[in-house]
């Protein structure tokens, strides 16, 4: 019993001393996994994904250039804000933005700013503001350290259960299901809501009107009607509640908006 009490006390102390704070939202999160290490894994996984014969990267087209331009605008805005508000170069990632020829309605951003936008989501995005909405949301997951947080939660559960795993499987691989393809990380509802909030702010910082995000999510909702939801929405359904929450967040985001 004493050993269990000692173990529990040690775990609580570890969790208390291993917390970080999400920029702008101020939410405290568990941080047991080294962010630099997971970003390194992400860079390697991203490179393998791009080099996979099944992956068709689009280069030089108007759409490919648009993905790079909108992504670069958001990244630059985030970097400026973070440097001006005492974060230094912590979020000055080695950003990469690529358009993938794939009919899936999908987009994602891995830790460290490795972004992929699938061509299937472009008709839903419609314009630069719509593209900024989806990219801002996915980039927010990276800036908020959601992948590291989920990995930390998993590590905490393993410790609590007394199960110590070896290093044979990468942290990122376990989270994303890397292997034959790149799967979406299943974020929690709290993280998805936070990504919505931060995504609005990031697109506003970059000069995209956050009010246009409402129509984008309405189009995403319509895309899921009459069948299975798009892959992009597989872990976070777009519904009236979500849109209403985004509308409530607009006054906050507009504080950062400069035309």
- How many structural domains comprise the chain? 1
**Closest CA relative to residue 231, chosen from 111, 102, 144:** 102
Report the distance separating Cα 201 and Cα 85, nearest Å: 15
Query: Between 201 and 239, where is the model more confident?
Result: 201
Is 21 among the domain residues? no
pLDDT computed for residue 186 by the predictor: 63
Q: Across residues 125-150, what is the average pLDDT?
A: 95
Indicate which residue of 138, 192, 194, 231 is catalytic: 138
Q: Among this protein's residues, is 138 annotated catalytic?
A: yes
Three-state SS for 45? Answer: helix
Q: Which single residue is written with the structure tokens 């568990």?
A: 30
Look up the domain containing 99 and give its range: 35-254
Is 243 among the domain residues? yes
For the chain, percent of residues with pLDDT exceeding 90: 59
How far is residue 187 from each of residues 1, 72, 80, 207, measured CA to CA in Å? 35, 25, 27, 27
**Closest CA relative to residue 237, chosen from 247, 245, 229:** 229
Give pTM, 2 decimals.
Answer: 0.82
Three-state SS for 94? Answer: coil
pLDDT computed for residue 173 by the predictor: 60
Q: What integer best gives the mean pLDDT of the chain?
A: 82
Is 170 among the domain residues? yes
Is 85 among the domain residues? yes
Is 47 among the domain residues? yes
């Amino acid at each position: 019993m004493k050993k269990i009490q000692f173990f529990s006390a040690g775990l609580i102390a570890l969790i208390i001393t291993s917390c970080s704070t999400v920029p702008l939202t101020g939410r405290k999160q568990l941080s047991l996994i080294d962010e630099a290490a997971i970003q390194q894994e992400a860079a390697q996984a991203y490179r393998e994904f791009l080099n996979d014969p099944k992956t068709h990267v689009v280069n030089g087209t108007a759409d490919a250039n648009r993905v790079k331009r909108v992504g670069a605008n958001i990244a630059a805005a985030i970097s400026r804000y973070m440097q001006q508000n005492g974060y230094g170069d912590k979020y000055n990632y080695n950003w990469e933005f690529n358009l993938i020829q794939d009919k899936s309605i999908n987009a994602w951003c891995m830790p460290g700013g490795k972004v992929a936008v699938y061509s299937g989501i472009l008709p839903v995005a419609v314009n630069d503001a719509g593209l900024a909405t989806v990219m801002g949301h996915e980039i927010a997951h990276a800036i908020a350290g959601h992948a590291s947080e989920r990995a930390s939660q998993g590590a905490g559960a393993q410790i609590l259960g007394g199960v110590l795993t070896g290093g044979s499987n990468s942290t990122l691989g376990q989270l994303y299901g890397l292997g034959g393809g790149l799967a979406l990380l299943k974020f929690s509802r709290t993280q998805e809501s936070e990504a919505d909030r931060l995504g609005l702010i990031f697109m506003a910082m970059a000069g995209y009107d956050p009010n246009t995000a409402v129509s984008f999510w309405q189009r995403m909702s319509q895309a899921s009607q009459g069948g299975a939801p798009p892959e992009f929405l597989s872990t976070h359904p777009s519904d009236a509640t979500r849109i209403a929450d985004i509308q409530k967040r607009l006054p906050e985001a507009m504080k950062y908006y400069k035309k």
